[in-house]
Amino acid sequence: MDRKKFIKTSGLGIGLTLLPLTTNCLTDTKEVLKTIKNNPKIITAIQGTVFNVIGDIQTHKLVGIDTGNQIMEWVSNVDPGVGIPPHIHTKEDEIFRVIKGQVEITIDGETTLLNAGDIAFAPKEIPHAWKVVGTETAKMITSAFPAGIENLFQELAKLPAGPPDFEKVTKICSRYGISFL
């Protein structure tokens, strides 16, 4: 058999063999997508659930149950001097959007001052930290994807007021795939 004929016949044979598998994969994917129904949702500026997460006053706007676990989004109102020390997420990427104030953010060793309108992306597995600088409270919209981190925030918000017990915080965060450096 010559090479051209071999390629044509073997390619066709493989294609016909794999066609039922591809069709099944597409059908299975469609079935999974049917179970994740994302309904439209409008959240006004005053709506959401508020949590004090170790000084980060967060208003949860969209959580996993709202988005098919694709994304979680919250608004933070944070006083000067408050921040999150260097840490790594193993599950979610984050996007930080500064609306008001100034936030110093460090991602993968590079520190940048974010002002109103600035955005930063911190992929999972990359060390990052942030801190509100200047004299005014900062407002920041943060997105995490996939969703799930809202469960961590709800657990941290249950800790007693006052300076956080870093050992407890570290233990809780580790259960959600987050470690401090």
Kindly indicate the confidence band of residue 17, based on its pLDDT and cuts at 50, 70 and 90: very low
One domain, residues 108 and 168:
yes
Q: What is the pLDDT of residue 38?
A: 80
152: Cβ contacts below 8 Å, ≥ 6 apart: 172, 173, 175, 176, 178
Neighbours of 104 (CB within 10 A): 15
Instruction: Note whether 112 and 163 are same-domain residues.
Output: yes
**pLDDT tens-digit profile of 90-130?**
999 999 999 999 999 999 999 999 999 999 999 999 999 99
HEC string of 53-110?
ECCEEEEEEECHHHHCCCCEEEEEEECCCCEEEEEEECCCEEEEEEEECEEEEEECCE
% pLDDT > 70, the chain: 80
For residues 75 and 132, membership in a common domain is answered with yes
Q: Is the pLDDT of residue 143 over 80?
A: yes
What's the predicted TM-score (pTM) here?
Answer: 0.78
- Whether the per-residue pLDDT at 55 is higher than 50: the answer is yes
Same domain, 109 and 56: yes
Instruction: Give yes or no: residues 20 and 103 share one domain.
Output: no
17 and 53 share one domain: no
15 and 63, same domain (yes or no): no
Mean pLDDT is lowest, of 21-25, 55-59, 130-134, for: 21-25
What pLDDT is attached to residue 36? 59
Name the percent of the chain lying above pLDDT 90: 75
Q: What is the pLDDT of residue 15?
A: 46
In this structure, how many other beta carbons lie within 10 angstroms of the beta carbon of residue 40? 5
**Is the per-residue pLDDT at 132 higher than 80?**
yes
Domain hosting residue 150, numbered range = 49-180
Quote the number of domains for the chain.
2
Q: What is the pLDDT of residues 63-81, one digit of tens each?
A: 999 999 999 999 999 999 9
Is the confidence at residue 21, as pLDDT, over 80? no
161 vs 77, which has greater pLDDT?
77
